[in-house]
Amino acid sequence: MSDIKKVVLAYSGGLDTSVILKWLQDTYQCEVVTFTADIGQGEELEPARAKAEKFGIRQIYIDDLREEFVRDFVFPMFRANAVYEGEYLLGTSIARPLIAKRQIEIARETGADAVSHGATGKGNDQVRFELGYYALEPGIKVIAPWREWDLTSREKLLAYAETHGIPVEMKHKAGGSPYSMDANLLHISYEGKVLEDPAREPEEDMWRWTVSPEAAPDQAEYLDLEFERGDVVALNGRRLTPAQVLAELNRLGGKHGIGRLDLVENRYVGMKSRGCYETPGGTILLKAHRAIESITLDREVAHLKDDLMPRYASLIYTGYWWSPERKALQTLIDDTQVCVNGWVRVKLYKGNVMVVGRDSKTDSLFDANISTFEDDKGAYQQADAAGFIRLNALRMRIAARLHRK
């Protein structure tokens, strides 16, 4: 183990990574560099610095990556309308490639020969982090403590923290360990505790970002989203940066009880897992993006995107953001978004997002003169449909005659 001289730890300051920091020092006898990414988790990050300093860490990185996260990772993913297994908006998955990227950059800056993360050996994150590491720095050494140590439960981690004087948030809540949570500007997730029984309803006081739909305002709220090349650039006429857009959508969605999800998903490592998610801004964004695409995308292009979306979403979920196939798909997706310009109006009410209007002054393919139920003045020749239908029925007519014999 002495061949490891310096390791960059992805460090949140929470239970797992606080224990890992001390464990790395004791087990590997190496220098530890901590890296804390501010990707909009909404928590004060200076306590992480204080904890790291307490254990003698000299190189501490706390980087504000919020704009990069939304601009270069969240928005490209939403251009694809990516949803995993029909429901999950990939809030945890999409953050991992950015963290891995910056971690490798710091390893190069500091001369570290290894990186470390706090993902367990049962989950998806170990795959996501490490695929990112190896794609960006093929010779990097990876330390995954959960695959090495004997601290195999949250309770053992808490005991270790107590022994070594490591302060842990929510340590004594409900007489046991806290939920396993992950938060960023796109979502917050919850696992563990009562959620390990998929038959039990989540506790109401678990949710942090959203009110329950029952407690949401009785008055609906309207919101206009302006799109340029598939990305939201303004809300209600006010231009915002990508991170500002998502933060404001989170605020509005949370206020109206939008974006809660209780899901049993199929992990990449093979097991089923139950988790709960809050993705208020992403829920609004997905609905609005599909609405603007409905009037600006050619039918076959839109259907091709829908065909490819599950593959694209699976690549993100399983950690292949930096793979050549994801990059190739992204090139195609981004090319389809050149014409996705215009505005969408949504109505927010008690957990629901309803599209109530959409238009594009420059790229709308909707032609009321053709689709109208009134007199179209010859814009569409209805008689042409007869031959169109007969030709498309030809193969079925031939088969029907054959089978009748």
Residue-by-residue pLDDT tens, the chain, 405 positions: 459 999 999 998 888 899 999 999 999 999 999 999 999 998 889 889 998 999 999 999 999 999 999 999 999 999 999 999 999 999 999 999 999 999 999 999 999 999 999 999 999 999 999 999 999 999 999 999 999 999 988 789 889 999 988 887 654 444 444 688 899 999 999 999 999 999 999 999 999 999 999 999 999 999 999 999 999 999 999 999 999 999 999 999 999 999 999 999 999 999 999 999 999 999 999 999 999 999 999 999 999 999 999 999 999 999 999 999 999 999 999 999 999 999 999 999 999 999 999 999 999 999 999 999 999 888 999 999 999 999 999 999 999 999 997
Alpha carbon distance, N-terminus to C-terminus of the chain: 77
Q: Round the average pLDDT of the chain to a whole number and report it.
A: 94
Could you tell me if 280 and 252 are in contact, meaning their C-beta atoms sit under 8 angstroms apart? yes
What is the distance between the alpha carbons of residues 95 and 12, in angstroms, rounded to a whole number? 13
Catalytic position from the list 79, 102, 125, 231: 125
Query: Which 3 state secondary structure label does DSSP give 316?
Result: helix
Sign of the C-alpha dihedral computed for residues 89, 92, 96 and 98 taken in this order: positive
Catalytic residue among 12, 66, 93, 96: 96
CATH for the 188-359 domain, from 3.90.1260.10, 3.60.21.10, 3.60.150.10, 3.40.50.300: 3.90.1260.10
CA 25 to chain centre: 32
How confident is the model over 168-207, as pLDDT tens digits? 765 444 444 468 889 999 999 999 999 999 999 999 999 9
Q: How far apart are CA 216 and CA 187, in angstroms?
A: 19
Which of 12, 18, 177, 180 is flagged as catalytic? 180
What are the structure tokens assigned to 234, written together?
Answer: 């303004």
For the CA atoms of the chain, what is the radius of gyration? 25
Is the separation of the CB atoms in 373 and 352 below 8 Å?
no
Contact residues for 344 (Cβ-Cβ < 8 A; gap 6+): 224, 225, 227, 288, 291, 292, 355, 357, 358
Q: Is 16 a catalytic residue?
A: yes
Domain residue ranges of the chain, discontinuous segments joined by +: 6-77+89-179, 188-359
pLDDT of 372-404, one tens digit each? 999 988 899 999 999 999 999 999 999 999 999
Q: DSSP for 1-70, please give it.
A: -TT--EEEEE--SSHHHHHHHHHHHHHH--EEEEEEEESS--S--HHHHHHHHHTT---EEEEE-HHHHI
Question: 141: alpha, beta or left, given left = phi > 0 and alpha = psi -120 to 50?
Answer: beta
- What residues contact 136, with CB distance under 8 A and at least 6 apart? 100, 101, 104, 322
Superfamily holding 6-77+89-179: HUPs (3.40.50.620)
- pLDDT given at position 61: 98
* 96 labelled catalytic: yes
Catalytically annotated residue among 16, 102, 260, 274: 16
> Residue 174 has what pLDDT?
42
Per-residue model confidence (pLDDT) at position 244? 98
pLDDT at site 2: 58
Q: What is the pTM of this model?
A: 0.94
Q: Is 180 a catalytic residue?
A: yes
Phi, psi (5° rounding) for residue 88? -80, 125
Q: Does residue 395 carry a catalytic annotation?
A: no
Cα 312 to Cα 237: distance, rounded to the nearest angstrom? 32
